[in-house]
Amino acid sequence: MASIAIENVVKTYAGGNTAVHGVSIDIKDGEFIVLVGPSGCGKSTLLRMVAGLESISGGDVRIGDRKVNDLDPADRDIAMVFQNYALYPHMTVRENLAYGLKNRKTPKAEIEARVAEAARMLEIGQYLDRKPRALSGGQRQRVAMGRAIVRKPAAFLFDEPLSNLDAKLRVTMRAEIRKLQKRLGTTSIYVTHDQLEAMTLADRLVVLNAGRIEQIGAPLEIYHKPASTFVASFIGSPAMNLVDARVEGGMLWFGGVSVPLAGAQGPVTLGLRAEDLRLAAPGEAAVQLRIEHVEELGAQRLVHGMVEDQSLTIALSPDIPLTDTLPIALPRERLHLFDAVSGKRIETRVPAFA
């Protein structure tokens, strides 16, 4: 159990490519941190630097109160779960679990006790004498987690552990990882490109883009207040609608409709979540959405269409009858404004009146 401090960490490869630009994250003891971002954003590199599998080009990584920059992975008191499980194929499950402990010269009785405990926790007791190839993907992933648990490390590092599983199993394993982490209270860093996984698992999310942190925060905080257009489009499904709009004289103009708004001026990017948009009541000011195609999801339907020349997606209840054009009301409390050039969030106020 320990906190992890990542201070201005930089990764520059031999060719001069910089994958991670001065990232700092303070991870509290027992916290579940998820690093999320598109492929190539440096999230795996960052994790591997914490693990000691990549050298650190600049900055410090501290686990507990130890600076671990130059320590071997084995001496950092961490355990890692890999995407392809990385179980030793020639060893039985039991040997796989025990290998790390054996290398640390843990007494035999202690190894047995810990393996038994992990096996009970993960319900893999009946597979202990099988080889990994005789196990299904989900079972292998449990063994991989077991290998991390038996070590009782200061931190768990997960590198996209669920990517190789099918969708259904992913949901169950997700819940199990979460439960397990809460129960053990071990500080965890989890890397994924799946925003849903990130939202459901994290105590705090770190959204990375091109080697830089876009935003750090609790999942809901990020969902409700994305710091940039990048975060806005990455977190949430379907992706947030980002459309061009103008603010003039305290009024936001979009699609021929205006909403009173303070705190911005000139052209802006307006962010609208599909699930925040609703049909306008008769007589209410509304933008006209020309429907182009509809995705039926069962519980809701996603209607894709155009407002003037900008595309917009809206989530509607399947009960609402569809016509060629729908009047859509803008949710005045749920407008996200971003700078049209930098894409950074603009804090706005909706005037109380009007």
Contacts with other proteins, residue ranges (CB under 8 A): 51-53, 72-74, 78-80, 82-90, 99-100, 103-104, 132-133, 147
SS3 343: coil
Write down the least CB distance from residue 26 to other proteins, Å: 24
Nearest to other proteins of 193, 345 (CB atom): 193
How are beta strands 212-217 and 32-36 bridged, if at all? unpaired
CB of 9 to other proteins, least distance (A): 19
Angle at 47 between CA 50 and CA 227, to 5 degrees: 115
If you ran DSSP here, which 8-state letter would residue 281 be given?
Answer: P
Q: Which is nearer to other proteins, 10 or 86 (CB)?
A: 86
**Beta carbon of residue 95, minimum distance to other proteins (angstroms, whole number):** 10
Nearer to other proteins, 164 or 310 (CB): 164
Please state, as a whole number, how many other Cβ atoms lie within 10 Å of the Cβ of residue 67. 13
Instruction: Kindly tell me which of 71 and 280 has the beta carbon lying closer to other proteins.
Output: 71
Residue 87 or 314 with smaller CB distance to other proteins: 87
Structure tokens at 19: 């994958």
Q: Is 288 exposed, middle or buried (0-12, 13-18, 19+ CB in 10 A)?
A: middle
From the CB of 196, what's the least distance to other proteins, in Å? Answer: 25
If the CB atoms of residues 5 and 53 are measured against other proteins, the closer one turns out to be 53
- φ and ψ of 330, to 5 deg: -85, 130
Q: What is the DSSP letter of 227?
A: S
Q: Give the CA radius of gyration of the chain.
A: 24
CB of 193 to other proteins, least distance (A): 18
Residue 210: strand, helix, or coil:
coil
CA–CA dist 27, 46 (Å, integer): 14
**Min CB(318)–other proteins separation in Å:** 42
